[in-house]
Amino acid sequence: MNTKTLTKHRDMPKLKIPQRWVRKGKRKLRDWLLKPIPRSFRHKLVRSQLTLDYDPPKELTLKIANTLEELEAAYHLLYRSYIAMGYMKPDDSKMRVTFYHLLPSTTTLIAKWKGEVVGTVSIFRDNSEGLPLESEFKIDHLRNDGKVVAEISSLAVAPHFRNQQGKILLPLLKFLWLYSKHYFGLDYMVMATHPKMADFFEGILLFDLLQKETVNKYDFANGCPAIAGALDLNRAPDLYSAQYGKKPDHKNLYKFMTSLEHMTRNISLPLRDVSKISDPVLNPQILNEVLNKKPDLVNSLTSKQMRILLNHYGDDVYRDNVAEIRFLYDKVPTEDLRKGGPRFDVRCPGQLMVPFQKEGRRVEIRDLSQTGVKIFSNETLEVNKVYQLYVALSEFNVVPLVVKAAWQDDNGYYGMSVVRESKKWNAILEELENQLPHKLAS
């Protein structure tokens, strides 16, 4: 090769390979290399890569998505992520929104970097429709003894923040932990995910698989394969302590997750004055905008899902301002809808007294309304019997009621109709009603 040829080759433009391709290639190579390695060793290996930052930059904020702009940004980020992974089909709205996102018992958490939504995760608390993963996985055993379950879903991080040692993901997961454990009234988290993420959720977050077999076609994720796991939030601190407690801070997930002393400038948690466990944000304006952009969503609802939405959004202000709610009213007979006004999700202790007996029975209060209270009891109660119920909404806020057991189910739940209330009870319900999204928006 002569000098002229060499010069020609040196002058040729260098081929630039996008960094995201390089990172993706490294990830695929790592997964391929790890596949034949025993599971316990793989988990040890992924834990060794953990790097925790207890003091993220002030540019990072973590909060509940509570505006139209934040929710749409979260839904759009989720859409882009799900399209890239094949978890959903293209949609004109460019948003991933499901029936479960519309429920007031759902909370969407977001991570923002300099005001841009760069991470999101949603928590679907158990409801009368059940949870999405129940189409393939069994979780009834987790509900024993009145335990509260929620599905962690819709997790996404912006592409330009991926593969940066969890710069966004790990703080978002800490926020998820704090909120779920201390504000959302949960006993168990469950999650369905692609098998390639199993080592992360099993090896690092210590989820237990719900079943060993992989579901080859999971409809909620566009027919992609899925595995599912559960994390007992009451046992998790002990599990994390045993696995991580003696490790240095930058690898100590126990300290990172459970400590309330760091990331206080980054995390915005809701205020709580009573034992509320929900933070609904869909006022009529937000709900109308979202449903206007997702017309196929309403048409795809089952009759039960339609009824559930109307039970939650039955106030006249929703009917007057949300066209899709009016459409649903034409589909669902009025007699099928719940009576008695709004219900408020709570989780607090109560004591049930039987007339002329000294000892009370400990119960747990699950929701409140103007006309009734839903409770869980480990002891069998007599339907149609009158009781004195003491509701401990907070340490120094105990409200007495006279109630009558109106119904029971097979899981230890009872509906108690209020026979005699008090001014204090009415004042608490009025305060809770004033915190509803449509009241705050007016």
Domain assignment of residue 38, yes or no:
no
**Coil vs helix vs strand at 123:** strand
Q: Are both 314 and 356 inside the same structural domain?
A: no
pLDDT(338) > 90:
no
Domain assignment of residue 319, yes or no:
yes
- Greater confidence (429 vs 11) lies with 429
Give the range of the structural domain holding residue 126, as residue numbers without chain letter: 53-258
Domain assignment of residue 89, yes or no:
yes
Q: Round to whole Å and give the CA distance between 399 and 385.
A: 20
Q: Are both 208 and 298 inside the same structural domain?
A: no
Q: Are both 393 and 415 inside the same structural domain?
A: yes
DSSP letter for each residue of 119-174: EEEEEEE--TT--GGGGTS--GGGGGGG--EEEEEEEEE-GGGTTSTTTTHHHHHH
pLDDT grade for 163, boundaries at 50, 70 and 90: confident
Query: What would the pLDDT profile of 233-264 be if each residue is shown by its tens digit?
Result: 999 999 999 999 999 999 999 999 999 888 99
Query: Helix, strand, coil: what percent of the chain each, to 5?
Result: 40, 25, 35
Domain count, the chain: 3
Q: Are both 110 and 208 inside the same structural domain?
A: yes
Q: Are both 352 and 318 inside the same structural domain?
A: no
Domain assignment of residue 168, yes or no:
yes
Q: Are both 328 and 217 inside the same structural domain?
A: no
Q: Round to whole Å and give the CA distance between 299 and 74.
A: 23
Domain assignment of residue 276, yes or no:
no
Q: Are both 332 and 348 inside the same structural domain?
A: no
Q: Are both 245 and 291 inside the same structural domain?
A: no
Q: Are both 351 and 332 inside the same structural domain?
A: no
Q: Are both 325 and 358 inside the same structural domain?
A: no
Burial class (CB in 10 A: 0-12, 13-18, 19+), 2: exposed
Quick one: average pLDDT of 364-381? 95
Q: Are both 398 and 418 inside the same structural domain?
A: yes
- Greater confidence (2 vs 218) lies with 218
Task: Give the H/E segment covering residue 151.
Answer: strand 149-157
pTM: 0.90
Domain assignment of residue 273, yes or no:
no
Question: Which two tokens mark 188?
Answer: 């168990």
